Amino acid sequence: MEAFIIIRKRVSLIGAGSMGGALVTGFVRNGLVAPDDVLLSDPNRDAVAALAAQLRVRIAGDNRQAAGEAEIVVCAVKPYQIKKVLEEIASLMTPDRLLISVAAGVSTSFLEANLPSGAPVIRAMPNIPALVGEGMTGLSLGKHAGPRDGDDAEQLFKAVGRVVTVPEANIDAVTGLSGSGPAFLAVILEALADGGVMMGLTRQTALELAVQTMLGTARVIQTSGEHPAALKDRVSSPGGTTIAGLHVLEEGGLRGLLMSAVAASAEKAAALEV
Ligand SMILES: NC(=O)c1ccc[n+]([C@@H]2O[C@H](COP(=O)([O-])OP(=O)(O)OC[C@H]3O[C@@H](n4cnc5c(N)ncnc54)[C@H](OP(=O)(O)O)[C@@H]3O)[C@@H](O)[C@H]2O)c1
């Protein structure tokens, strides 16, 4: 397991829903930030109280308190809710306070335009496997975010998985691939299990086989660095079972479909309006 560098900074989370909750749980459980240094702000009082009790972190009275007491403000509200949050906290966002937004489709220039000039902002695109510490996050730095801000954001998101930093022109592609990818892979898993059921396996056994096969294959490629095509060739013996199945996938155009799915999701992200 990777050693985490403790961020000795006060971190506030505005919007403690499914993504915000997963992030702050990863930050605290991995000891990246001290519970006393974490403030949560969300209008769902019961949900936020339960999360705060679980993590032993504090609850802010409102978003202004959350922003005013933090060195890093993580904003995880829905994209259409972000403008209102920025209006509330703008006067508190001094250049020594970093804003990290995870809102899909909200650009760093939009964030900067709604904050005082010089405010450092970072746009992050995490994904739902952050819930189990296997997330994938793409980061893009705004024009006033320095290398230390980038390092802090990287350390935070490493608490819930892996991190890449990309130019903002590529962040919609990150959304299309790793942001939406869990849904695409869930459909593939379900379909593989359906195939197993069709051939006589119980649903439970079929799903266990499908999930472990996906996990194991991904892990082999991740740890060996082997090209996926080389792995495919290794398991396809001449005239064998696997090449017969691969022929069906090629005839059905699976590769083109998956490429188009990533492109459609990326294009939709690019067209999102706040
Ligand atoms: N879920 C994912 O897989 C994923 C992946 C990448 C990025 N994201 C991004 O993460 C963000 C959050 O998504 P989510 O799925 O976690 O949504 P969510 O579960 O609806 O969480 C958002 C939370 O923010 C609260 N909120 C609304 N207005 C607020 C305000 N003014 N101040 C403070 N809190 C406020 C919401 O309360 P109410 O319910 O009362 O509105 C809700 O509890 C989105 O921008 C999304 O694009 C999500």
Q: Which helix (H) or strand (E) holds 9?
A: none
**Mutation test of ligand 1: which of 13, 81, 127 has the most ligand atoms closer than 8 Å to its C-beta?**
81
Q: Is pTM beyond 0.85 here? A: yes
Q: Give yes or no for residue 126 CB within 6 A of ligand 1.
A: yes
Per-residue exposure over 97-128, b if at least 16 CB sit within 10 Å of its own CB, e if not: bbbbbbbbbbbbebbbebbeeebbbbbbbbbb
For residue 266, the CA-to-ligand 1 centroid distance in Å is 20
At 103-131, the pLDDT tens digits run: 998 999 999 999 999 999 999 999 999 98
Binning pLDDT at 50, 70 and 90, where does residue 6 land? confident
As a residue count, the chain comes to 274
Q: Report the CATH fold assignment for 11-171.
A: Rossmann fold (3.40.50)
Percent of the chain residues topping a pLDDT of 70: 98
Closest protein CA for atom 24 of ligand 1? 15
Phi-psi region of 172 (alpha: psi -120 to 50; beta: other; left: phi over 0): alpha
For residue 143, the CA-to-ligand 1 centroid distance in Å is 25
For residue 255, the CA-to-ligand 1 centroid distance in Å is 32
At 66-109, the pLDDT tens digits run: 999 999 999 999 999 999 999 999 999 999 999 999 999 899 99
- State residue 30's pLDDT score: 87
Check pLDDT > 80 for residue 268: yes
Q: Give yes or no for residue 41 CB within 6 A of ligand 1.
A: yes
Check pLDDT > 60 for residue 220: yes
- State residue 2's pLDDT score: 60
Check pLDDT > 60 for residue 1: no
- State residue 205's pLDDT score: 98
Check pLDDT > 70 for residue 198: yes
Q: Give yes or no for residue 232 CB within 6 A of ligand 1.
A: no
- State residue 44's pLDDT score: 95
Check pLDDT > 90 for residue 134: yes
Per-residue exposure over 208-234, b if at least 16 CB sit within 10 Å of its own CB, e if not: eebeeeeeeeeeeeeeeeeeeeeeeee
Candidate from 6-20, 58-72, 76-90, 190-204 with smallest mean pLDDT: 6-20
Count the Cβ atoms, other than its own, within 10 Å of residue 137. Answer: 25
- State residue 3's pLDDT score: 65
Atom number in ligand 1 closest to CA 22: 16
For residue 75, the CA-to-ligand 1 centroid distance in Å is 9
At 23-68, the pLDDT tens digits run: 999 999 988 899 999 999 999 999 999 999 999 999 999 999 999 9
Instruction: Please state which CATH number belongs to domain 181-271.
Output: 1.10.3730.10
Domain boundaries defined on the chain: 11-171, 181-271
- State residue 12's pLDDT score: 98
Structure-token pair, residue 182: 């869990």
- State residue 272's pLDDT score: 81
- State residue 213's pLDDT score: 98
How far is the C-alpha of 253 from the C-alpha of 271, rounded, in Å? 27
| Among 57, 86, 76, CA closest to 13 | 76
Side-chain half-sphere CA neighbours of 20 within 13 A: 26
